[in-house]
């Protein structure tokens, strides 16, 4: 199978909690991989703090790893674009990704040079009378950092041209490599249904993970927030660009 079409990982991503913050693009310039440009929605750049559950995880799409099939992840990410022929590829760049499994962090760092970090984690997902509550947390030293949201409506498909569609329908990943190039990989999943939120935010001091500027950004109220149902996903092997 051609490079970039080999399956690296298959899984389900479920109960995604997504907090979005408008950000000055200059703050992200040092993170933008070569060969890509910063993407924006209605002229505004965003970073997103995302918590979700990995389920039924398999390496190469077929190999379940004992004790590593189901776990949480929280990542901080932003959005880029890359032109490939006539295709405008819209992608994600991860600033940091937190997981509660040391082996998962190690494999991801080796395979994609992503900034994966290990911390103890926990989550809570509940539905009561049509109200959905989701919470993800990780332990940093003796303290816990937490993102939380509560839905205010029933789930619906993302509206065409909406911020929710912009955030969830980036199907490429990019990471800067030590060589000075970038790695590009494709992520395949169906569009997700989303719940609007009545209450959502982040609690904790995250500067030790994200740096002081981004840590301060997370202290304010998010500019938008929603919960997404998630779906099966396939992450394909990467290829170098740039």
242 assigned to some structural domain: no
Q: Of 125-129, 161-165, 188-192, which gets the smallest average pLDDT?
A: 125-129
Residue 1 inside a domain? The answer is no
Measured distance CA(195)–CA(152) in Å, rounded: 7
Number of domain units in the chain: 1
| Assigned domain for 153 exists | yes
**Within a domain: residue 94?**
yes
180-206 mean pLDDT: 94
- Prediction pTM value: 0.93
Give residue 59's pLDDT.
Answer: 82
Q: What is the pLDDT of residue 61?
A: 66
Q: Give the CATH number for residue 71.
A: 2.40.400.10
Q: What is the pLDDT of residue 112?
A: 74
- Counting Cα atoms < 13 Å in the Cβ hemisphere of 227 gives 29
Domain of residue 164, residue span: 7-237
Q: How far apart are CA 177 and CA 154, in angstroms?
A: 41
Backbone angles phi, psi at 102, to 5 degrees: -60, -40
Domain-located, residue 167 = yes
Q: What is residue 67's predicted lDDT score, i.e. its pLDDT?
A: 59
Residue 88 falls within a domain, yes or no? yes
Contacts for 163 with CB less than 8 Å, ≥ 6 apart? 20, 41, 46, 224
DSSP lists the bridge partners of residue 116 as 97
Span 112-133, mean pLDDT?
Answer: 91
Across the range 189-201, mean pLDDT stands at 95
Tokens standing for 142? 């003796």
Q: What is the mean pLDDT of residues 143-159?
A: 93
The stretch 113-129 carries a mean pLDDT of 92
Measured in whole angstroms, the distance separating CA 7 from the mean position of its chain's CA atoms is 19
**Over 70: is that where the pLDDT of 106 sits?**
yes
Domain annotation covers residue 186: yes
Tokens 């998010």 map to which residue? 222
Question: What is the reported pLDDT for 3?
Answer: 44
Per-residue model confidence (pLDDT) at position 2 = 40
Please provide residue 117's backbone torsions phi and psi, each rounded to the nearest 5 degrees: -125, 145
- To the nearest 10°, the Cα dihedral for 161, 74, 83, 157? -20
Residue owning tokens 């911020």: 163
Any idea which residue has 């809570």 for tokens? 124
Residue 2 falls inside a structural domain: no
Residue 80 to residue 108: CA distance in whole angstroms: 20
């Amino acid at each position: 199978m051609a490079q970039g079409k080999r399956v690296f990982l298959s899984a389900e991503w479920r109960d995604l909690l997504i907090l979005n913050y408008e950000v000055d693009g200059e703050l992200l310039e040092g993170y933008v991989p070569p060969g890509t440009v910063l993407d924006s929605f209605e002229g505004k750049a965003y970073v997103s703090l995302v918590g979700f559950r990995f389920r039924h995880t398999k390496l190469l799409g077929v190999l379940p790893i004992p004790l590593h099939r189901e776990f949480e992840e929280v990542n901080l990410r932003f959005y880029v674009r890359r032109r490939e022929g006539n295709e405008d590829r819209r992608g994600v760049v991860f600033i940091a990704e937190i997981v509660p499994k040391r082996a998962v962090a190690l494999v991801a760092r080796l395979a994609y040079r992503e900034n994966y970090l290990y911390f103890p984690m926990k989550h809570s997902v509940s539905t009561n009378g049509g109200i959905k509550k989701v919470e993800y947390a990780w332990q940093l030293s003796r303290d816990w950092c937490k993102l939380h949201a509560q839905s205010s409506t029933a789930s619906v498909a993302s509206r065409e041209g909406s911020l929710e569609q912009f955030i969830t329908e980036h199907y490429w990943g990019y990471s800067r490599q030590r060589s000075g190039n970038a790695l590009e990989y494709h992520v395949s999943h169906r569009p997700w249904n989303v719940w609007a939120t009545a209450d959502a935010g982040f609690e904790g001091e995250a500067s030790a993970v994200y740096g002081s500027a981004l840590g301060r950004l997370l202290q304010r109220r998010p500019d938008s927030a929603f919960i997404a149902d998630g779906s099966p996903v396939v992450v394909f092997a990467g290829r170098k660009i740039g």
